[in-house]
Chain A
């Protein structure tokens, strides 16, 4: 089982719609969670961190469900500029105290005019 799993999509969504996608992680001891955005043939950029109580940044809402070991990203009133691949990232600490970030393979989102 992959450490971090995402539905690769593509999600094709009309402009103005709401879209949500999930990411599951296998290590219950994972500490921190993030969503990155990657435009086609560009570098990844941090979109938002995911806090235990859930957090919102404009049209974007991130949620964490530790019991079921998944995080979600909700995009409201989607814009054409939201078209991108969204990467789920999980921070873990090993038994030896080493930290690492594990990246999911990404979910591709296309907003249709």
Chain B
């Protein structure tokens, strides 16, 4: 039972490089999210997709783009990475947007930007 799968789990980038974090869920959930977690900051929402075909900005969207490829997949792209984007990124999904408060998270992707 995979749940939410993120790739890659670890990545080191140089400033200015680009990369895409991939996320897929097999729970037939409608809503998907990308969060970042930094020490002392808590989880902060970058972008979310309430349902297939829609995406919305969260609290910290600058420097990121997203694509809801289909119901299962939601990718996060860093076009020109900056050291401030060094963080742990979590993808999550839920049946409906935020309603129940239960989000299912992937294992996280640890990104370092040098």
Contact = CB atoms under 8 A, between A and B. Distances in A.
Same assembly: yes
B98 A91 contact: yes
B105 A45 contact: yes
A44 B105 CA distance: 7
Size category of the binding interface on chain A? 20 to 34
A100 B41 contact: no
What DSSP secondary structure best describes chain A's contact surface? strand
Contacts of A33: 101
B107 A87 contact: no
Tell me if B's interface is mostly helix, strand, loop or mixed: loop
Interface in B59-101: 59, 90, 97-99, 101
Interface string B28-68: 00000001000011111100000000000011000000000
A32 B103 CA distance: 14
A44 B99 contact: no
A48 to B, nearest CB: 10
B26 interface: no
A1 interface: no
A32 B107 contact: no
B108 A43 contact: yes
Contacts of A100: 45, 58-59, 98
A4 B42 contact: yes
Contacts of A104: 42
Interface of A: 4, 8, 32-34, 41-46, 49, 87, 89, 91, 99-106
Given A43-B106, A101-B101, 12 more contacts: A4-B42, A32-B101, A41-B108, A43-B90, A43-B108, A49-B101, A101-B45, A103-B35, A103-B42, A103-B43, A105-B40, A106-B42
14 contacts: A32-B101, A33-B101, A34-B101, A41-B108, A43-B105, A43-B106, A44-B105, A46-B101, A46-B103, A49-B101, A100-B45, A100-B59, A105-B42, A106-B42
